Amino acid sequence: MAGLFIDVEVADEVRGDAELAKRLEDACPVDIYAAKDGGVEVVDANLDECILCELCVQAAPPGGVVVKKLYDGTALER
């Protein structure tokens, strides 16, 4: 489920990558990513804590992670 203000989309090839999962978990200062069962889980309860730092977008390969700003329809991506 999305947050009220933020949603995060993780591409399938990132979702199942244990190494990327750990990188995302380490990168996000507000714990929106959890490395679990060899993949990454988005922690829905923390989504609206996102500070739009873009660290997750940079930690993932291009297109791997999209942070959607539901309040203005734009997104952080690369």
Q: Which residues sit at the interface with ligand SF4, rule CB under 6 A?
A: 8, 27-30, 32, 50-56, 67, 76
The helix (H) or strand (E) run that includes residue 9 is: strand 6-10
Measured from the CB atom, the residue of 16 and 69 that comes closer to ligand SF4 is 69
We find the least distance from the C-beta atom of residue 13 to ligand SF4, in angstroms, to be: 18
We find the least distance from the C-beta atom of residue 16 to ligand SF4, in angstroms, to be: 19
- Written as one letter, the residue type at 3 is G
Task: Yes or no: say if 60 and 24 are a contact pair by the CB < 8 Å rule.
Answer: yes
Measured from the CB atom, the residue of 20 and 56 that comes closer to ligand SF4 is 56
Measured from the CB atom, the residue of 18 and 30 that comes closer to ligand SF4 is 30
Structure tokens at 23: 């990188």
The C-alpha atoms of residue 12 and residue 15 are separated, in whole angstroms, by 5
